[in-house]
């Protein structure tokens, strides 16, 4: 299944909301992952998911599920590199000048997707503010 209006991307970067919806059984996220050749997680997303797992009611189960997902052969964790940092700086400045601030972690994720040449999958409408970002923003209502 391709994402609505988008050919199946070979590189898919998940944000925290996409992974959370996957764990909740969202078939759209599962289908997008199945269609992608490589699924990427930014270390920023990894940090958010680790925090969420530790704060949840089943931290052991949540962390085990995250570890199992990361261990899949088609999943890669992307670091913050100097190139990602340069893109982050550009995006941050553009958003600030436009008067459309976005959370810092979302800017890091957008920069990571751009640098990796990946399609970002999210449920967060803030990503609509990034000009030129290849992304699909899904509705939580399906």
Which pLDDT value is given to residue 122?
Answer: 96
**Phi and psi, residue 131, nearest 5°:** -65, 135
Q: From CA 32, how far away is CA 9, in angstroms rounded?
A: 8
CATH of 11-137, one of 3.30.470.20, 3.30.465.10, 3.30.450.20, 3.40.50.1010: 3.40.50.1010
pLDDT at 127 (0 to 100)? 95
pLDDT score, position 1: 43
**Per-residue pLDDT, 116:** 96
Per-residue model confidence (pLDDT) at position 3: 58
Residue 141's pLDDT is: 74
- H helices of 56-81, in order, are 59-71
24 contacts: CB under 8 Å, gap ≥ 6: none
Regions of the chain short of the pLDDT cut 50: 1
Backbone angles phi, psi at 67, to 5 degrees: -60, -40
Token readout for 66 is 């995250």
């Amino acid at each position: 299944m391709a994402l609505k209006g988008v050919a199946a991307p070979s590189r898919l970067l998940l944000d925290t909301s996409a992974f959370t919806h996957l764990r909740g059984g969202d078939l759209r996220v599962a289908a997008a992952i199945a269609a992608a050749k490589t699924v990427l997680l930014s270390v920023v997303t990894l940090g958010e998911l680790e925090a969420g797992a530790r704060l949840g009611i089943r931290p052991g189960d949540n962390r085990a599920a995250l570890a199992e997902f990361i261990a899949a052969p088609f999943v890669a964790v992307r670091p913050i590199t100097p190139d990602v940092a340069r893109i982050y700086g550009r995006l941050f400045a553009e958003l600030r000048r436009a008067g459309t601030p976005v959370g810092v972690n979302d800017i890091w994720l957008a920069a990571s997707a751009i640098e990796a040449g990946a399609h970002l999958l999210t449920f967060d409408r803030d990503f609509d503010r990034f000009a030129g970002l290849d992304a699909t923003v899904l509705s939580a209502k399906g």
